[in-house]
Amino acid sequence: MRAGSLIRVLLVAVLLAAIATAVAIFIPWLPDQASEEGGRVDFVFWFVTAICIGIFSVVASLSVYSLIKFRAKPDDDSDGPPIHGHTGIEITWTVIPLVLVLAMIVVSSVALAQNDRDPANSMRVEVLGQQFAWTVAYPPEGAKEDMDGFVCFTRGSGEVDSRCKSSPNLMLPLDRHVRLHLTARDVIHSFFVPEFRQKQDAVPGLKTEITVTPTKLGNFPFICTELCGLGHALMRTRAIVLSQSKFDAWRASK
Amino acid sequence: MSWRRYLLGPGWIRAAWMTALFFGIGFGIVVGIRALAGWDPLFFWDAIITVAALTAAPIGFLAGLGAFDYWLAWAFGQPTKPEDHSGHGARRWTDYFRINTDHKVIGIQYVTTTIFFFLAGGMLAMLVRAELAQPEADYVDPQTYNELFSVHASLMIFLFVIPAFAGLANYVLPLMIGAPDMAFPKLNALSYWLLPIGGIMMLSSFFFPGFGAGWTNYAPLSVEQPFGNVFFSMAVQWAGASSIMTALNFLVTIITMRAPGMTFWRMPLLVWANFTTSLLVVIATPFIAGSQFFVMFDRVMHTNFFNMAEGGYPLGYQHIFWFYSHPAVYIMILPGFGIASEVISTMSRKPIFGYRLMALSLVAILILGFSVWAHHMFVAGMATWLRIPMMITTLLIAVPTGIKVFSWLATTWEGRINFSTPMLWALGFVSQFVIGGLSGIYLGAVPIDIAVSDTYFIVAHIHYVLLGGSLFTIFAGIYYWFPKMTGRMYNERLGKVHFWLTFVAFNVTFFPMHIIGVQGMPRRVYTYDPEFGSWNLVISIASFVLGTSFLIFVYNMLVSWIRGPRAPANPWRGLTLEWQVSSPPPLFNFDEIPQVVGNPYEYGVSGARHAVFNGDREALREEVRA
């Protein structure tokens, strides 16, 4: 490639990167972020976005330049130069993506490991999905789990154990690690609060777990994201984050 | 005598009464067993339809049409008819509507059938978009809505993308390797005729509500669905069997029927692509067949594969299902890679850049493709550590895929690019596939996947890779080989209008889905939070334009096929073997078997030949003597 065309490709690349960056920044992509875990997810999101903008602008600038510059003139029946390959270039475009991919793997793994932890002082909350409603239950401190791993729910039944406080909404205290223990009664459902960036399927007969640490007071949608039948679209409720004192008052109320 | 031949000879009349006969036999088996066992009710229609309509009747139909005649005669010790080639090739248009052993006829049968199901699936998609134009529930009830998107996806995957590639390859692959036909022409005919059976079953599921668990048909929801779910389970068996037979046929054809001199390193990349795809199909497809049998057995025979209360394991379904369905996405894109390579090289007048690395990256995708299935299950509740190795293999696939994209771009570099319709589709494919590949990287990174799983981000991603990816290459292939297949030229101007309309409408339809997905709109819902209302209205309007754009294609194809200008043998000045014979090719492809002497993409190399024919050899000798 001659220096002149290299500069032109670079100019196009910078222009396209600027456009892609504008799309990334000015479109409100991510919903509000209301959990500690969400912060890590967003970091990975922007890390991957930066790499993707880089790849996109390289690929797009080369193709835009090539397609404009190397159009066949009308009535030009000649062939292009017989270039069969170039070992150096081929190694380059194998190794650079490999390095980028490894970087994304490392960053994602670290974020995943942190988000997956069950901190020692976490509060236990149990969540049951059934067609087409959520039941959230708060077991008393130190209560013993049954053989399925739940305090408040018995397998196959929608009943909540009388020792537990229960609610159709997910009530959470601010800035407290919460470990959700999920299961389902009939078919697979999925716990999702976009503002928390955390999602976990609730599977009948299984216990799945996920950690949420709310960092913002407020009222967020809590929706089912696994197709669970006719009422799937309506299986929506709220996740409500309260201050610790208000939460304690709510929990103590009958 | 003639009425006997009418009734008993292979054809539609025999197919009609044998379909009815086999339905009757299935009916008799079910009712007979129930009568003997004293079960009530005697006429249990769920069982009757499963056995008689979905299993026995299609066998009767195939037998009546004549798919098994040769083998049955042989099996019963009757004298087999000597091959007189009467069932080979199309002399009249009616020859396309019978068992035909000519791979060129079968290729056209495949392509037209899949276009039909593509249009049907597209109509379902527009009904889905009509419902979603406004946040509230508007036109259809929830059950119908769930069926609309389930059948849409099933038709597009099993009756359009996979078999459309099989059809295009059926036509051009034997030509490209210099073979007179596929290795097993009768098996080839059978595998085509299995296909419409699967498609009709999926469409008729609307009359028996129940196939509303999505094309993924996750247990235990699918087990609890009403009876219609069985239609999907059985349709997958028929379409899957078709797929496996074709793949075996391709493998044997590629391994044993290459012309002299056609070594593996001289095969066009389309042949490489179908070789790797066929390996994926024969290894993976039995798994989806198994998963659907398990679901069906759980509901019909009350087995407990997925019933946790009785020791079953719901996640087992997902593992088996995705062990097919992830490789399936490569089944749906590798042949497209092959088509793109052919078109881009020919239309740029340059050899494909890095031919061997292009072929090897197909093999790398084939191998890695089997080790990534659980990335569909990052939030499913499987062992948490399993997510890390699955993320590593998933993201590693970006490397061979990247090699392919860079090599296509390098192929255009310094070329003489001809922006004909097939080239527009091929380049459109590369650009859209880059976007789909990048959104795939987001999904490969586990923390992001957890956040956007089962939202519209997923819907956006699959449509960028399957519509902007697979479908664009299918259209590149159809326009590229239309002159070869029909002997006529299509209308170039209409082809370009079709491309640009589809390209723009596609992006307006699917790009905003990334945004509403990240913001948290779940997929597979008929009503949603009003905050997503304006984007959804834009998407719906664009999707109707997208749907309309394909009418231009249908018009162009029909009119050009009937009275387009005659096509020359080699309108694109291609070097691969299919362009060295007339358009359409002779009955047995080559009057003489070519001798392959060089690589398939030697554009710009003076004096280079991919293959020589006897006549050429004489001429060459003359030249040398002179």
- CATH code of the domain covering residue A131: 2.60.40.420
Tell me whether residues A85 and B573 touch, CB distance under 8 A.
no
Start-to-end CA distance of chain A, whole Å, equals 76
State the Cα–Cα distance between residues B565 and B483, nearest whole angstrom: 10
Whether A38 and A105 share a structural domain:
yes
**A77 and B573: CB-CB below 8 Å?**
yes
Looking at residues B78-101, what average pLDDT do you find? 85
For B523-537, the pLDDT digits (tens) are 999 999 999 999 999
Residues in chain B within 8 Å Cβ distance of A36:
none
Q: Is B348 on the interface with A (CB under 8 A)?
A: yes
Top pLDDT among B1 and B583 is at B583
Most A CBs within 10 Å, among B211, B414, B430, B609, to test the A interface: B414
Do A56 and A138 reside in the same domain of the chain? Answer: no
B568/B583 Cα distance (integer angstroms) = 6
Dist. CA B582–CA B593, nearest whole Å: 14
Report the alpha-carbon distance of residue A10 to residue B163 in Å, rounded: 42
**In the prediction, which pLDDT does B619 show?**
67
Would you list the domain boundaries of chain B? 2-75, 93-563, 577-625
CB-CB: which of A44, A72, A233 is closest to B448?
A: A44
Q: Does A43 score more than 90 pLDDT?
A: yes
Rg (CA), chain B: 25
pLDDT(B400) > 70 = yes
pLDDT of residue B309: 81
Are A225 and A139 part of one and the same domain? yes
Residue B214 gets the label, from left (phi > 0), alpha (psi -120 to 50) or beta, of left
Is residue A78 in some structural domain?
Answer: no
pLDDT at B570: 94
CA distance A55 to B81: 61
Measuring CA to CA, how many Å separate B407 from each of A130, B351, B495? 51, 11, 26
Q: Does B409 sit within 8 Å of A62, measured CB to CB?
A: yes
Q: Report the candidate in B122, B242, B231, B241 with the shortest Cα–Cα distance to residue B170.
A: B242
Which one of A40, A97, A231 has the shortest CB-CB distance to B402? A97
Instruction: Give the separation between CA B53 and CA B50, rounded to whole angstroms.
Output: 6
The residue range of the domain holding A199 is 123-252
Contact of B353 with B411, CB cutoff 8 Å: yes
**φ, ψ (nearest 5 deg) of residue A223:** -125, 160
H helix intervals, A70-143: 87-116
CA–CA separation, A75 vs B436, rounded Å?
36
DSSP B202-241: HHHGGGS----STTTT-TTHHHHS-TTHHHHHHHHHHHHH
Q: What average pLDDT does the segment B584-611 reach?
A: 90
Q: Which residues of B touch A236 (CB under 8 A)?
A: 529
pLDDT for the residue B378: 95
Give the mean model confidence (pLDDT) for residues B40-58.
93
Q: Which of B218, B399, B447 is facing A101, going by the closest CB pair?
A: B399
Rg (CA), chain A: 26
Supply A205's token pair: 């007969």
Cβ count near A97 (within 10 Å): 22
Residue range B204-224: mean pLDDT, rounded: 91
Give the model confidence (pLDDT) of B179-195 as tens digits.
999 999 999 999 999 99
* C-beta atoms surrounding B392 within 10 Å: 17
Per the structure, how many domains does chain A have? Answer: 2
> Considering chain B, what percentage of its residues have pLDDT values greater than 70?
98
Residue A169 has pLDDT above 90, yes or no: yes
Q: What separation in angstroms does the CA of B561 have from each of A13, A206, B488, B566?
A: 43, 58, 6, 10
Looking at the structure, tell me whether residues A35 and A100 fall in a common domain. yes
Q: Which residues contact A118 (CB under 8 A, 6 or more apart)?
A: A179, A209, A211
Closest partner CB to A221 (pick from B387, B410, B520): B520
Contacts of B380 in chain A (CB under 8 A): 188, 201, 203
For residue B616, pLDDT beyond 70: no
Residue B243 Cα distances to A15, B58, B104, B107, angstroms: 46, 17, 18, 14
pTM: 0.94
Mean pLDDT to the nearest integer, A96-106: 95
**N-terminal to C-terminal alpha carbon distance within chain B:** 65
Same domain assignment for residues A233 and A143: yes
Closest residue in chain A to residue B606, using alpha carbons only? A82
Contact call for B604 and A80, based on CB within 8 A: yes
> Which of the four pLDDT bands, split at 50, 70 and 90, describes residue B357?
very high
Q: Which residue of A has its CA nearest to B345?
A: A80
Contact A213, A124 (CB under 8 A): no
pLDDT of residue B339: 97
Cα–Cα dist B523/B508, whole Å: 18
* Residue B6 backbone dihedrals phi, psi, to 5 degrees: -60, -45
* Angle between helical axes of A36-69 and B398-412 (0-180°, round to 10): 20
Given pLDDT bands bounded at 50, 70 and 90, which one contains residue A224?
A: very high
pLDDT at A1: 58
Residue B465 CA to residue A129 CA, distance in Å, equals: 33
Q: Is the peptide bond before A74 cis (omega within 30 degrees of 0)?
A: no
The reply to whether omega before B286 is within 30° of 0 (cis) is no
Question: Buried b vs exposed e over B552-586: b needs ≥16 C-beta within 10 Å?
Answer: bbeebbeebbeebeebeebebebbbbbbbbebbbe
Among B559, B573, B584, CA closest to B610: B573
Q: Which residues of B touch A61 (CB under 8 A)?
A: none
| Residue at A81 is within a domain | no
Quick one: pLDDT at residue B104?
Answer: 95
Question: Would the pLDDT of B512 be above 60?
Answer: yes
For residue B442, which of B466, B467, B468, B461 has the smallest C-alpha distance? B461
Q: Distance between CA B270 and CA B539 in Å, rounded? A: 34
State the average pLDDT over residues B306-313: 86
Q: Is B588 on the interface with A (CB under 8 A)?
A: no
Query: CA B236, B66, B166 angle in degrees (round to 5)?
Result: 45
Residues A186 and A204: their CA atoms lie apart, in Å, by 6
Q: What is the mean pLDDT of chain B?
A: 93
Chain A touched by B149 (CB under 8 Å): no
Q: What does DSSP assign to residue B594?
A: -
Asked whether the beta carbons of residue B388 and residue A109 sit closer than 8 angstroms, the reply is yes
Cβ-Cβ contacts under 8 Å between A and B: the total is 253
Assess whether A163 and A228 both reside in one domain.
yes
Shortest CA gap B287–chain A (Å): 21
To test the contact with chain B by mutation, choose from A187, A195, A212 the residue with the greatest count of B C-beta atoms within 10 A, namely: A187
- Report the candidate in B466, B393, B475 with the shortest Cα–Cα distance to residue B436: B466
Lowest mean pLDDT among A138-152, B12-26, B143-157: A138-152
Instruction: Indicate whether A168 belongs to any domain.
Output: yes
The nearest CA of chain A is from the CA of B427 a distance in Å of 9
Place of tokens 């999907």: B232
Q: How far apart, in whole angstroms, are the C-alpha atoms of residue B596 and residue B264?
A: 12
What's the CA gap between A164 and A172, in Å, rounded? 15
Distance CA A187, CA B314 (A): 9
Residue B221 has pLDDT above 60, yes or no: yes
Q: Are residues A30 and A140 in the same domain?
A: no
Range B93-563 classified under CATH 1.20.210.10: yes
Quote the tokens at residue A45: 């999101």
Distance from CA of B50 to the nearest CA of A (A): 23
Interface contact flag, B354 A194, Cβ < 8 Å: no
Same domain for A156 and A230, yes or no, is yes
Same domain, A95 and A166: no
CB contact under 8 A, B348 and A97: no
- A112 and A191 part of one domain: no
In 10 A of CB B487, how many CB atoms?
17
Q: Among all residues of chain A, which has the CA nearest to that of B316?
A: A203
Lowest mean pLDDT among B294-308, B335-349, B360-374: B294-308
* Chain A environment of B221 (Cβ under 8 Å): 187-188, 227-229
Chain B positions in Cβ-Cβ contact with residue A45 (cut-off 8 Å): 442, 448, 451
Q: How confident is the model at residue A76 (pLDDT cuts 50, 70, 90)?
A: confident
Q: For position B210, what pLDDT does the model report? A: 83
Is A82 among the domain residues? no
* Residues B324 and B288 sit within 8 Å (Cβ to Cβ): yes
Query: Considering CB atoms only, which of B315, B402, B522 is closest to A225?
Result: B522
Which residues of chain B does A116 touch, with a Cβ-Cβ cutoff of 8 Å? Answer: 384
Residues of A within 8 A of B406 (CB-CB) are 59, 93
User: What pLDDT, on the 0 to 100 scale, is given for residue B197?
Assistant: 96
Beta strands in chain A (DSSP E): 123-130, 133-138, 165-167, 170-173, 178-184, 189-193, 198-202, 208-212, 218-224, 236-242
On chain A, the residues whose CB falls within 8 A of the CB of B392 are 105
Beta bridge partners of A129: A134, A184
Same domain, A227 and A133: yes
A45 inside domain: yes
Which residues in A lie closer than 8 A to residue B418 (C-beta atoms)? 72
- Within 14-53 of B, beta carbons closer than 8 Å to A belong to none
Average pLDDT for residues B430-443, to the nearest whole number?
95
- What is the token pair recorded at A140? 């008393």
Does A109 share its domain with A127? no
> Average pLDDT, stretch B375-390?
93
Best residue in B349, B391, B407, B601 for a mutation probing chain A (most A CBs within 10 Å): B349
Rounded to the nearest integer, the mean pLDDT of chain A is: 92
Residue of B nearest to A59 (CA): B406
φ and ψ at A193, to 5 degrees? -125, 105
Which two structure tokens, joined as six digits, stand for A237? 């409720």
Q: Which of A102, A199, A220, A235 would you mutate first to test chain B, the one with the most B CBs within 10 A?
A: A199
- Alpha carbons B361 and B399: distance in angstroms, whole number: 9
How far B351 CA lies from chain A's nearest CA (Å)?
Answer: 6
CB-based burial label for A75 (10 Å; 0-12, 13-18, 19+): exposed
